[in-house]
Amino acid sequence: MADSEVSARMREDWNARAREDAGYYVAFGRRDSDDAAFFATATEVINGLEWELSRVPIDQRGNWRALEIGCGPGRLLRPMSRHFVEIHGVDVSDEMIALAKEKLRDVPNAHPHATDGASLRQFENEYFDFVYSYAVFQHIPSRDVVFEYLRETHRVLKNGGLARLQFNGLPRLNEQFDTWSGARISSGEVLEFAREHDFQVLALEGVATQYMWTTWRKQPRGWFASLEDRQIQAEVKIRRITNANSSEPVAPSRGRFASISIWVENLPADAGLHHLQVTVGSSFGTVCYIGPPDKAGLQQINVILPELEATGLLPVAILWLGQRISPPATLRVIPPGPSVPRVRMITDGVNLVADHRIETRHIKMVLEEIQRPDEVDVFVDGLRVMDLEYFCTDPRPQRFEMNCVLPEEITPGTRYLQLHIGRRKLPPIAIEVTA
């Protein structure tokens, strides 16, 4: 299908969604929410974007301009506008853009634009300092269109500028995409595109999940090739190592908590995920994040540990461009704890902010440390729920999303949901059924 056909399809479908309930389809929250509730759903995403902005000191961002790809009705544009002298948003849906112009009429530095759905042709080369996108590429039914947006991001971003982008990184099961369940992009494809376009990759998080995030810094043409001749200027010093999930100086040898944060000084400014490596014992971990320098000049490097056979005190070293650049430090590795299935979330399957309140008779659950999802049975007031659907959303904590419909016999009121996982029974959980 040609890009023009894809764009026309996206515009038609997203215009229809904008007319039906723009806030719901953009924020995945509640039907018919008011503006206050709609904008409140952006908090977590905004916190993440603002953290990435901290890579550049605020006194160096005085005249920065930003672009949001897929701005919808302006949910992120409004809070992000406070950081820039000028912020633009594009969307394939002219209905969404009309809503954004109305909702942002009191924000003079925010400028929403309708786009053709595959390019950023209205903007000059190297116009922006920061480009971001959230919950957009995962709805585009064409991989070609997604990568065209990435090429356009490279074109409009200044050298030294930052991009913070989210993709659906779940494994590809088929090539039949639509404008809701769009194309999936693997971590390998992200890294390859960045290499080809001289992007320094500073973060690649949530690999193999629906919400895979990456942070890029644009470097001049030829930068990647120039690294081959780069000489190490200063020895990197490891100041401390902690568990990435806590401040404890210990990590299990495998499982959901098998990741570490290494705090270092003198990290080369050009260090990125393509060439930065960390060894734990005799194995390589997976570097997924390089943070900005803090006030003490230390940078955080997050590493997912390999499945280690050895435990005890293991040496940790940092390599860049194939050379060891740090003296070894020590990490205490312990055996993993037992797998403990847990319920992370129960909510209405349509109104996703209705915590434990089932308003449409559809139930959505998020479970973790589930080794055999096919062994999960759901009961409500002793009645077994049929046709349980599930899929893995994050393989590392063995996180599954499960969806089902209440049995017809269940009437409104306080009911009790219980999970059976093989022979194991989890404690009953109260839910409020309203319909």
Domain boundaries, the chain: 3-226, 230-334, 342-433
Separation CA 308–CA 333 (nearest Å): 9
Give the pLDDT confidence of 14-63 residue by residue, as tens digits.
999 999 999 999 987 788 888 988 899 999 999 999 999 999 998 899 89
Sheet with strand 389-394: strands edge to edge:
342-348, 362-368, 399-405, 389-394
Separation CA 11–CA 22 (nearest Å): 13
Q: Domain 342-433 - what CATH class?
A: mainly beta
Separation CA 420–CA 376 (nearest Å): 6
The reported pLDDT for the residue numbered 296 is 92
Alpha carbon 310 to its chain's center:
32
Residue carrying structure tokens 């000489």? 231
The reported pLDDT for the residue numbered 119 is 92
Backbone angles phi, psi at 16, to 5 degrees: -65, -40
Among 3.40.50.150, 1.20.120.1200, 3.30.479.30, 3.40.50.2300, name the CATH number for the domain at 3-226. 3.40.50.150
Backbone angles phi, psi at 236, to 5 degrees: -80, 135
Which run of H or of E encompasses 279? strand 276-280
Q: Pick out the chain residues at pLDDT < 50.
A: none
The reported pLDDT for the residue numbered 118 is 83
- In order of 61, 162, 211, 301, 362, the CA distances from 55 in angstroms are 11, 9, 21, 14, 42
The reported pLDDT for the residue numbered 31 is 87
- In order of 101, 139, 209, 366, the CA distances from 167 in angstroms are 26, 9, 9, 20
Quote the pTM value.
0.94
The reported pLDDT for the residue numbered 32 is 85
Six token digits for residue 67 = 């672009």
Q: Domain 230-334 - what CATH class?
A: mainly beta
Separation CA 100–CA 7 (nearest Å): 20
Task: Indicate left, alpha or beta for 206 from its phi (over 0: left) and psi (-120 to 50: alpha).
Answer: left
Six token digits for residue 130 = 């920061």
Separation CA 134–CA 147 (nearest Å): 15
Is-same-fold flag (3-226; 230-334)?
A: no
